[in-house]
A and B are shown apart, each in its own frame.
Chain A
Amino acid sequence: MGITLQTTRKVDAQGDGQLLLELDNIHTYYGKIHALKGISLKVNKGEIVTLIGSNGAGKSTTLRTISGLLRPREGEVRLDGKNMANVPPHSIVEAGIGHVPEGRGVFPGLTVLENLEMGAYLLRNHSELERRLENVFSLFPRLLERMQQKGGTLSGGEQQMLAIGRGLMQQPSVLLLDEPSMGLAPLLVEEIFNIIDRLNKEQGTTILLVEQNAQAALQVAHRAYVLEVGQISMSGLAADLLHDPRVSEAYLGL
């Protein structure tokens, strides 16, 4: 399926910013299952980097390892050069990594507004909170309408918007997005990717995007990594990968 983006990616975006997030030889286990077998990747400031791969390749695991939900048994996660492995998740959030989890993780019993405010939980400055809220509402006007509704009563697309909006409330230096298009109607998928693109362009948000919808992800991203059973099998510019025959065959269904 094609995603209509307002602009096509500049191939050279990769060189722009300095190195922000770096994974160095990460090994993560679930019990005795070796889920990540030495993942290394880099995310530069201002980039959208996407991580594609089939079901069970370890994409979500990678994000969870970055945000501290899982602890790597080996390797380092560096944010601005500082090692973040074995730091509890709330401190990682504090350090500036925002994670919009797979399946959205909206708090069903909190109102939309409260959900958003939870995103800025660490922020104590009231006017800044208001500013961020307005920012989110301008991106997702629908959320404004639903402000007093409980999170659990929203539709799937709205919940995804809420989850992204909540991630933005943190104003993270890098935003981890886990399958934002999962389970959404095609029209909504397009809207979500447009917003991702806008976020990056208008607000300069650095994004690490995990997607099964490889085509859309590669269209929106600057660079990409392909993950296969816990290891990175390919990497490169998104535009190159989009046209790589191996990728087309395996992930684009072409």
Chain B
Amino acid sequence: MSEQPGKSSGSKSTKRDLSDEGLITRLLAGPLGPIFVIGYLAVVTFLLYREPRALLLRFLLFAGLLLIYYMPHKAWLKLLLAGVTVVAIIPAVGLKNPFLLEIGFQVATFATLALGLNIVVGFAGLLDLGYVAFFAVGAYLWAIFGSQQLWQLHSSPGTATVYNVFPLGAWWFWPFLIFGITAAAGAGMLLGTPVLRLRGDYLAIVTLGFGEVIRVLANNLDKPINLTNGPQGITPIQRPPLPDFILHGALPNWLSQVSGRTIGEGDMYAFFFYFLAVVWLVFTIAFAGRLENSRLGRSWTAIREDDVAAVAMGVPLRRTKLTAFAIGAAFSGAMGVIYAANRTFVSPETFSLTQSISVLVMVILGGLGSIPGVVLGAAIVTMLNIDVLQTLSLQLSSLRQGTGMIPLIGVPWAELPTQLDPARYQRLVFGLLLIIMMIFRPEGIIPSRRRKLELHEDDDPLAPPADSENVLITSTGGD
């Protein structure tokens, strides 16, 4: 019957979408918009340059990117502004406070992971709870071959003498980027093949198991052959060689003068890794964007919506699912190699189930299937993780060492128990955020067009109350 709720006519919703211009978009419309955004960026940059460690300013700088995203202007202008922010402003402020580069690097890393997972979950609809395994494959690949681990295959972890000769030259990093992609894609196929017949929750638990298997292997392959050095982790791992004029001499000296602090080799590498991660992220975004609208992308959508019908339409189920796993994995494989080199250290703890879940959360929070959404989700979660809560705790601690009083209550800050530090309740905040998001905005912060249609067909001020029995109909489907 045509009374089915889920099949509201498309034209109506599209119209609404077009008319539905956001507040920011409307404010930024017209020629004043770009001027305003440029002014905003300039002010934030200036302030950040004077006060390089202010959390709010850091946040406002990243929010600037969001503003640019919402600008209703030509793509080239938006790209230009975003490019200037990412390539010039962040590194420039990073001169003052290298932590900004670290945030940028981690955001780029996790955004890439989230985009990869988005292909598997968002595009192809295959719930993967062990995604971080592919990241681990890439990271360990370079960790094993780019460190001195190969000399220690027959010694117990942590007891071997320190060597100084690396079996492979540092330039091997570049070929290993490709190997990392290949290995991760291979691992994706390896996981994908046995689970092709599984659906939904069964798939979820098997992928979860796979993720754990990779982690446990990394933790335990220190005997009989000491491949991963077990829980000790592998260190040091080589970083790709940079030309000498970058690391020493005029350039860093000049930068040191500009920034007023010593810019050494480590800082130059921080810049290098920031740019490398951003380049890989941009490549991933472009690639994923192309994929979404390709023939393959449509096949994914088809199997996500109804795999039986998709097969009937001639979509090769096996191949389509496997490519989803392989391509999704490949992105994170390369990022794994970069991450290992950046950290010069890998250990199994990085690749826990919690990490997999947090990547999944980035995807859902930002908007399943939506590329800008996923990137934003990754940025929010990462900043929350490594920056915001920690910084708030520090400020609190700083207050506690002063003699000020807590307003309203009139108790000295010093007596505030440390048990209340926000950093300790990261998961609490995180969990609450997830629940609230799912209830009020399940399609994510920047939803993909499709999902929005699916989830908000009843979104109307006059619609019956949310918890009405009405819902029952949607859950059991039409007739």
Contact = CB atoms under 8 A, between A and B. Distances in A.
Interface of A: 29-33, 35, 55-56, 58, 60-61, 64, 68-71, 73, 88-89, 102-103
B375 to A, nearest CB: 31
A60 B479 contact: yes
A35 B464 contact: no
15 contacts: A30-B3, A30-B4, A30-B5, A32-B8, A32-B12, A33-B8, A56-B3, A60-B1, A60-B479, A69-B469, A69-B473, A71-B468, A71-B470, A88-B469, A102-B479
Contacts of A64: 473
Interface in B3-23: 3-5, 8-9, 12
Q: Which 10 A-B pairs have the closest CB atoms?
A: A56-B2, A31-B457, A71-B464, A30-B5, A31-B458, A31-B8, A61-B3, A88-B469, A103-B479, A71-B468
Given A31-B458, A102-B479, A73 B464 contact: yes
Interface in B82-138: none
A55 B1 contact: yes
B6 to A, nearest CB: 9
Contact of B472 (A31, A69, A103): A69
Contacts of A70: 470, 473
Contact of B463 (A31, A56, A58, A69): A31
Contact of B462 (A33, A56, A73): A73
Given A71-B464, A73-B462, A73-B464, A35 B469 contact: no
Interface in B420-464: 457-458, 460, 462-464
Nearest to A88: B469
Contact of A71 (B5, B457, B469): B469
Nearest to A64: B473
B460 A58 contact: no
Nearest to A72: B464
Interface residues of B, number: 20
Given A32-B460, A33-B8, A68 B469 contact: yes
Given A31-B457, A33-B9, A56-B2, 14 more contacts: A29-B463, A30-B3, A30-B5, A31-B5, A31-B8, A31-B458, A35-B3, A60-B1, A60-B479, A69-B469, A69-B472, A71-B469, A73-B462, A103-B479
Contacts of A89: 469
Interface string B465-479: 000111011000001
B472 to A, nearest CB: 7
A30 B463 CA distance: 9
Contacts of A61: 3
B2 A55 contact: yes
B270 to A, nearest CB: 51
A89 B476 CA distance: 15
A33 B2 CA distance: 10
Contacts of B4: 30
Contacts of A56: 1-3
Contacts of A103: 479
Given A29-B463, A31-B8, A31-B457, A58 B469 contact: no
B471 to A, nearest CB: 10
B460 A31 contact: yes
Which of A29, A30, A64, A73 has the most chain B CB within a 10 Å cutoff? A30
**Residue in A32, A56, A71 whose Cβ sees the most chain B Cβ within 10 Å:** A32
Contacts of A55: 1-2
Nearest to B4: A30
A50 to B, nearest CB: 18
A6 to B, nearest CB: 32
A64 B12 CA distance: 25
A69 B470 CA distance: 6
Contacts of B462: 29, 73
Nearest to A103: B479
A30 to B, nearest CB: 5
Contacts of B470: 69-71
Contacts of A29: 462-463
> Which of B468, B469, B470, B479 gathers the greatest number of chain A CB atoms within 10 Å?
B469
Contacts of B463: 29, 31
A123 to B, nearest CB: 22
A33 B460 CA distance: 11
Nearest to A101: B479
A103 to B, nearest CB: 5
A69 B3 CA distance: 13
Contacts of B1: 55-56, 60
A71 B458 CA distance: 13
Contacts of B472: 69
A73 B470 CA distance: 12
A32 B3 CA distance: 11
B470 to A, nearest CB: 6
A90 B84 CA distance: 61
A102 B5 CA distance: 16
A34 B236 CA distance: 67
B133 to A, nearest CB: 37
Contacts of A58: 3
A88 B457 CA distance: 22
B349 to A, nearest CB: 45
Nearest to A56: B2
B181 to A, nearest CB: 44
A35 B458 CA distance: 14
B5 A60 contact: no
Contacts of A68: 469
A69 to B, nearest CB: 6
Q: Tell me which of B3, B5, B470, B472 has the highest count of chain A C-beta atoms within 10 A of its own C-beta.
A: B3
Interface in B351-402: none
Contacts of B479: 60, 102-103
A35 B5 CA distance: 10
Contacts of B8: 30-33
Given A68-B469, A69-B469, A70-B473, A60 B464 contact: no
A56 B460 CA distance: 23
Contacts of A69: 469-470, 472-473
Contacts of A33: 3, 8-9
A239 B457 CA distance: 42
A86 B469 CA distance: 9
Nearest to A61: B3
Contacts of A71: 464, 468-470
A71 to B, nearest CB: 4
A71 B9 CA distance: 21
